[in-house]
Amino acid sequence: MTQFIRLFYILLSFSALALTARNAYAIDSQNLPDINPTYVSMKSIDPVRLVGYTVGDVIEREVILTVKAPYKLIETSLPIPGYEKRHKGQVIGIELKSIKHTKKVDDNSTTHHIKLAYQVFTNNIVAKNAALGPEYLNLVNLKNNQDIVKFRIPTVDIAISPIAIFGQVKIENNMSPFLGPLPLNHDKEESWLKLSLIFLILSALGLLYILGMRAWLPRMGGTFSKVYRALRKQEKSTQGLKESVALVHAGLSTTANFTVFSNNLEQFLALKPNFIGLKLELEQFFNLSRRINFEPKYLDPAANFDSDVNAQLWVIKFARRCRDCERGLSPEKLATPSMKAGL
């Protein structure tokens, strides 16, 4: 029995020793001397946003560690995913979710790329501080196995936000003594904007039409429309009459696509039946042209103008009636041609 108790104590002592040794290693990892900074250099890529994290968020940081010979990273000292972080014995609620480690070995140094992903497993009713890390890495001197040192990856401080505002908010207490900007009624401006846009579009269409057809309105680009406008601008004189007659001749020829004379008037009327209603006036026009251009002694008994100005007024009216015919309108019948008045 005594022997059994002795054995029990021996086992108990060994167990205690084993636990002590394990604790001693963990303690050693933090209590190891720091590495001479000349042998190691670190660069970290930390999250840009340091606030506003809440439960479930994953925060990543990357550490690039270059260790110069003769030191070498003890890879078993890399942090283990799932390991709870504590601060002053309290679980801080930040857990290493995953780690990716790659290294590049050169002659005199080794570069380690360590990607750490932490996940938040805590929340609070108000914002609270937290930190990623620190992490302790152990390094060994390859020339001296007893020379084991540590390197501390510094922490990154973050703030964890609550999911919702805690408690009830009394609106009356939360009101500002200042009046905020009142929303303006923009109906009027919107109407003006719409009208302006419509006007702009119509103007643009009109401009296109002007540029395309050289006329302000549909049908104003017709041959006799142009002739009529040109005739109205002519000076009222003998020379103006001659030019007016020439303009009407040109209009007739353009309309017919051949030169119209009194001897092919029937051909013109057959081709342009819209003008049949003007047959009498066409004949009078050619008689007037005969007097103006070719035979001054000729007097048309049916169209004896008392002055060139009156004749010119008649030509203008005749051109307007030609324009009406061109537009498919029926010119009103002449009751009694009054040549003296030119009307």
**Positions that interact with other proteins (CB under 8 A):** 242, 245-246, 249-250, 253, 258-259, 261-263, 289-290, 293-298
Q: How far is the CB of 233 from other proteins (least distance, A)?
A: 19
Q: How far is the CB of 319 from other proteins (least distance, A)?
A: 16
Q: How far is the CB of 249 from other proteins (least distance, A)?
A: 6
Q: How far is the CB of 251 from other proteins (least distance, A)?
A: 11
Smaller CB distance to other proteins: residue 69 or 250? 250
User: What are the C-alpha distances in Å from 195 to residues 99, 188, 205, 217?
Assistant: 64, 11, 15, 21
Q: How far is the CB of 317 from other proteins (least distance, A)?
A: 20
CA 252 – CA 274 distance, rounded (Å): 13
Q: How far is the CB of 259 from other proteins (least distance, A)?
A: 5
Smaller CB distance to other proteins: residue 85 or 272? 272
Q: How far is the CB of 334 from other proteins (least distance, A)?
A: 25
For residue 335, the surrounding DSSP H or E stretch is none
Instruction: Please name every residue paired with 94 in a beta bridge, in sequence order, or none if there are none.
Output: 120
Smaller CB distance to other proteins: residue 121 or 261? 261
Smaller CB distance to other proteins: residue 77 or 287? 287
Q: How far is the CB of 208 from other proteins (least distance, A)?
A: 31
- The Cβ of residue 79 has, within 10 Å, a number of other Cβ atoms equal to 19
Backbone angles phi, psi at 32, to 5 degrees: -60, 155
CA dihedral 167, 173, 178, 182 (to 10 degrees): 60
Smaller CB distance to other proteins: residue 30 or 293? 293
Smaller CB distance to other proteins: residue 114 or 231? 231
234-239 contacts: CB < 8 A, separation 24 or more? 234/312, 236/309, 236/312, 236/313, 237/308, 237/309, 237/312, 238/308
CA 33 – CA 150 distance, rounded (Å): 6
The closest of 78, 72, 158, 76 to 116, measured between CA atoms, is: 78
Instruction: Name the DSSP letter for residue 274.
Output: G
Q: Which residues contact 248 (CB under 8 A, 6 or more apart)?
A: 227, 231, 285, 315, 318, 319, 322
Smaller CB distance to other proteins: residue 302 or 329? 302
Smaller CB distance to other proteins: residue 44 or 234? 234
Q: How far is the CB of 195 from other proteins (least distance, A)?
A: 50
202-211 contacts: CB < 8 A, separation 24 or more? none
Smaller CB distance to other proteins: residue 76 or 263? 263
Tokens of residue 55, six digits? 């439960």
Q: State in Å, rounded, how far the first CA of the chain is from the last one.
A: 153
